[in-house]
Structure formats: C-alpha cells, structure tokens
Structure 1
Amino acid sequence: MNPTFRRVALFGKYQPSAFGGSTPTPPGALREIAQFLIRQGCEVVLDRQVQASTGLTEFEALDVQAIGEQCDLALVVGGDGTMLGIGRQLAPYGVPLIGINQGRLGFITDIPIDGYQAALAPMLAGAYEEDHRSLMHARVLRDGACVFDARAMNDVVVNRGATSGMVELRIEIDGHFVSNQRCDGLIIATPTGSTAYALSAGGPLMHPSIPGWVLVPIAPHTLSNRPLVLADPAEVAIELVSERDASANFDMQSLAALQQGDRITVRRSQHCVRFLHPKGWHYFDTLRVKLHWNGGA
C-alpha cells in the first residue's frame, strides 16, 4: 500500500484528567495501533510524553513542535478532552487529526477503538471527509497588561468561585456595551463547544460550518438574559465588575484566577483544526448517536 500519510504521530491519553473522562490509554493498545500503521506502510512516531508514560521505547519519539513540523498526520487515541489538547497545540502547523474514541461521548474522536482497523485503513489511503473547526484566541488583561493567553477549541468560561455568590460581568462586543449580567458565569462557545458545557447550560447546537459562536449565561439572575449567537469575527470583552473568587478557564483545562477589573477578550484565532473522518461521515449522524435521538425510519 502507498499511504497518503507517510509519517504518522501517535498520541494517547497518558494521565487521568482532573475533570474526569477517559482512563489513560493502555500501552498495549498503542503498540497494537502503531504496528497496524506500520503494516499500512506508515512511519510511526510517538508523542514524547506518551512514550515516557508508557515505556514504548521501540518507536521514535518527538515533542509536539517537531511533530507539527515533520508529520503528515496525527492519530489521537482517547476522548474528546485529549483531542482538544492536541488539536490546540497542532493547529498552527496545519497537521490533520484522526480520533480513535476511548472515552464516553466522542463528538470529535469518532472512530470506535473496537474495529478501528476497518475505518482507518481506507482513510490512510486517502478516502476520508475533511472537517475544519475554528479556534478562539483568549487573553486575560489586568491593568492593560496581558497576564494570560490561550487558545480554545470548545469554550472560554468565566465562573464564580466554589463558595461565592453571583458574579457581575460587563459584556462588550466590538467595543460596544451590550449588558451587565449577574449570574454564576458566562460561556463563550464555538460550534464545536456547543455540544459541551454550553449545551448543558441551555445553549443551542451549532453546526460546525457556521462562522459564529454563542454566549450562554450560567444561571442568570435576570431570566431575559438568554443565549446569544454572534458572528465569529466579533471580539467579545468580559469585565469582572465584582470580585467573588472568579476564574476563567479555556476548554476546562487552562485556568486563570481573576481579580476585580480584569478583562477577558475573545476573538477568532487565525488557526483552525483539521479533522479527518471516515468516508460518509455526517455531523447529524454524530448528534443522533451521541445524544440518543430517535433513529427514525
């Protein structure tokens, strides 16, 4: 076989998440997948951190930057949280990603680990659907200086502290004042993130091809504060008016403690993530299966 992707980087979940989710990927499963890739004519490299945690020293290992510069494809074994982390890091390099689902939901890691070979073999030969997902670029500004900078694929969330009451937030869009909100927090979600925290807080599902994002208040004091869909070229600014041990997080992985007067700015990143899916993949099929909708006729 003459594979479309000559050099393939293999990632796995190498430590338990602080937020729960899938368990670490067994070394035996990674070894089996690596050997399958080799039989398909691919050269396999491991993420360096994965190699250190699994002891799979028979394969070459590279850090993420080198993988981005040298590899044609990244294969991620784990849940959506694992894919989010790898996707953010590889987005600047334009490396496409394929997800093998080891977790519970798998909205973006959509190939079941049982029977992955049947789905993966034709994809390595060039039979796949390509899906681009936008990223957000968020910053925390304090007294005019940037104290935190991160990309997010799912969402940026401003939350009240665990033992505090509501926070008061001032929201601006493209420099224009929109509202002051008293609530438990606010979610700014991409279409990819519309199936995550934003959905549980009452936000809409957004097709990934929509160039927009959604602002979803968490338990707002005023019930007329509803989810708001925005065009993604807009810049959203959130100012913490009252300090109640609030924090900002980015894809539920990167955390920043906030102080009164801090501003969180969110704009579209110049980078996007390239996902590859099996031929015939459809977003609505994913929703139907993962959300347990009636299959219909």
Structure 2
Amino acid sequence: MQTTFEKIAILGKYQITTSQDARKAARAVVEDVAQFLLQFGCEVVLEAESAMNLDVTGYPLLTPRQIGEQCGLCIAIGGDGTMLGIARELAPYGTPLIGINQGRLGFVTDLPLNHYQDQLGPMLHGIYDQDFRPLIHATIEREGRQIFNGHAVNDVVVSRGAMSGMLEFRVEVDGQFVSNQRADGLIIATPTGSTAYSLSVGGPIVHPATSGWVVAPIAPHKLSNRPLVLPDSSQISVKLLSGRDMSAKYDMLNMPELLIGDTLHVKRSQFRARFLHPKGWNYFAMLRNKLGWNEGGS
C-alpha cells in the first residue's frame, strides 16, 4: 500500500559520553526502525551526525537542512531533548516530526519504544493527528547592538551561576514596565515548555493550543512575584540590572554569557514545529500518564 511519506529521515539519540553498550542499543533501535520503514516501500535516510556517532551505515546521510529540503517526514528516536533539537532546525521547512520515546518522561515523544510499530504503521498511511507548536524567537542586545538571536521550542531561561547571588532584572511587556525583580532567574516558556522547567518552579500547565507565554521567576526574593501568562503576541524584554556569572539558555542550550546592562528580547517566532501524533491522541491522557495523575484514584 502506498504510504503518505515517500522519503523519511531518522534521527537517533546519542551522546559522546554514552557507554558502548548504550550506543549499541541505540544503534539497534535506529536500524530496527529503518528496516520497518523499508517494509512500507519508504526511502530511508539518516541524520548525518547521529548516524556517524552511532556507527549506523548503509543509508544516505543528510544534514538537518537537507532533511528539511528533501524529506516528507522525520522520525526522532530518543527523549524530549532529541525531539526539541531537531524541531528547532526543521521548523523553517514545516517538516512534520514523529517521536519514538527512548527517554524518560517524553512529553513530545509519543510512540512507546517497545511497540512503536503498532502506532507508526497507520501514521505512515496518513492516519494521524497533528498540531503546530509556536517557537520563541530570542535576541540579546548589548550597548545597542544585537549579539545573539535564536529560536526555542520550550523556553528561554535567564539564570545565575551556582556560586553567585540573586539577579536583579527589569521586566517590560510591549514597552510597558511590569516590575523589577530579584530572583535566581526567569523562565519564558511556550505552552510546550510549560511542562518543562517552568513546571518545576510552580508555573501553570498551558494547553498547546493556547496562544500564550508563561513568564515564571526562579526562586524569587518576594513571594508575591508569581508566574504570569501573557498573549504570545506580546514582546517581552528582560534587562539585567545587577548580578554576576549570569547566563541565558534556549531549550537548555547556552547562549552567550550575560553582562549587566544586557537586554533579552523575546517574541513569537515566524516558525512553528509540526508534531504528528497517533490518531486519537489526547493531551490530557498524555498528562495523566506522564505525571501520574491517576495514582491513588479510582
């Protein structure tokens, strides 16, 4: 039977420091998924860096840019970090993504590794649900010039170093002053990122269809500084007033070191990540499963 996707890329989970046994297991999963796709008559390619680090051979290798330009689908095998990394790179191309969960929680990797075939097969024939997740576009301004810009699927975080004191920063929304705050840092999260770092500091869970940002302080000096939910049409500015050993991260990847006087500007990106889910996928069922909401209930 003809599939919806003719050319499919696979991205495998890898880390340079991973043990040989773990790398061998990850390589076996990539090879198994590739063989499964070949049974459907799909052309299979591999993301080059992960394939070389896992020592998977026998398939064409493509960069993320080439995957976006040439492939109708990308399958990411790993945890949410693996999925978020490739989602950022493929968002400009609108390439759909399916996640096979080889990690732990896996809020955006839907298919369980131990029986992914049962759900992936129908999806290859166009039987799936999909949603689009907005990305954050973040820039850092220093003395009137831009020194960094990037995109994030989950969040952008300003934080202090492990051995330094609290930061002080000024928050503005659409040019309007909100507050000066003293805290260990500040998280600006998308609805997708509301179940990540923001959740751990008491931020709300935001449904992915909601057009909004979460702005959540990390260990604020004043307990009255609470998380805010803002429309994602807002432009948020965070100016560093005092502190040392300051840094910013997007999806937990390092941006340049921050200095006093730097301003982080955040707005909605022009790009969206496109996630495919098994037919009948339910956001609340996913939350119940990942967060153990049924435990102790009837």
CA deviation after TM superposition for structure 1 residue 39, in Å: 0.4
| Equivalent AA in structure 1 for residue 244 of structure 2 | R
CA deviation vs aligned residue, 1:186-207 (integer Å, no higher than 9, x gap): 0001000000000010000000
In the TM superposition, what are the counterparts of 1:179-198 in structure 2 within 5 Å? 179-198=179-198
Structure-2 residue corresponding to 1:48: 48
Structure 1's 23 and 260: CA in aligned 2 closer, same or farther, altered over 3 A? Answer: farther
Q: How many residues align?
A: 294
Instruction: From the superposition, tell whether residues 24 and 272 of structure 1 become closer, same or farther in structure 2 (CA, over 3 Å).
Output: farther
Distance 2:246 2:79 in 1: 28
Distance 1:27 1:12 in 2: 8
Task: Say whether 1:274 aligns with 2:274.
Answer: yes
Corresponding letter in the other structure for 2:280: G
Give 2:7's aligned residue: 7
1:220 aligns with 2:220: yes
Q: Look up the match of 1:108.
A: 108
What displacement does 1:256 show?
Answer: 2.2
Equivalent-residue separation in structure 2 for 1:55 and 1:92 (angstroms): 28
Structure 1 residues 24 and 269, CA, compared in 2 at 3 Å: closer, same or farther?
farther
Query: How far 1:24 moved relative to its partner?
Result: 8.5
| 1:263 to 1:190, Cα distance in 2 relative to 1, 3 A | same
**Which residue identity does 1:71 align to in structure 2?**
C
2-side partners of 1:62 and 1:25: how far apart?
22
Alpha-carbon shift at residue 15 of structure 1 (Å): 1.2
Distance in 2, Cα, partners of 1:68 & 1:49: 15
| Contact in 2 for aligned 1:157/1:186 (Cα 8 Å) | yes
Cross-structure match for 2:132: 132
Amino acid at match of 1:179: S
* AA of the residue aligned to 1:153: V
- Quote the offset at 1:266 in angstroms: 0.3
Are residues 76 and 127 of structure 1, via their aligned partners in 2, closer, same or farther at CA, if it must alter by over 3 Å?
same
- The aligned amino acid for 1:54 is L
Partner of 2:160: 160
Q: Alpha carbon RMSD of aligned pairs, Å?
A: 1.6
Kept in 1: contact 2:166–2:243 (CA 8 A): no
How far 1:292 sits from its partner (Å)?
0.1
User: One-letter code of the match for 2:105?
Assistant: L
1:37 Cα shift? Answer: 0.3
Give matches, 1:59-208, under 5 Å. Answer: 59-208=59-208
Paired amino acid for 1:147: I
- What amino acid does structure 1 have at the position aligned with 2:153? M
Corresponding residue of 2:209: 209
In the alignment, the residues of structure 1 paired with residue 16 and residue 275 of structure 2 have an alpha-carbon distance, to the nearest angstrom, of 24
1:235-246 paired onto structure 2 within 5 Å? 235-246=235-246
If the length of structure 2 is used for normalisation, what is the TM-score? Answer: 0.96
Asked if the contact 1:25/1:78 (under 8 Å) is kept, the reply is no
Would you say the 8 A contact 2:240–2:262 is kept in 1? yes
Residues 113-169 of structure 1, C-alpha deviations (whole Å, 9 max, x = no match): 101101100000010000111100001111111111110010110001111110001
Distance 1:23 1:182, change over 3 A: farther
Q: Is 2:11–2:51's contact at 8 Å kept on the other side of the alignment?
A: no
What secondary structure sits across from 1:57 in the alignment?
A: coil
- 1:23 Cα shift? 7.5
Matched residue SS, 1:115: helix
SS at match of 1:85: helix
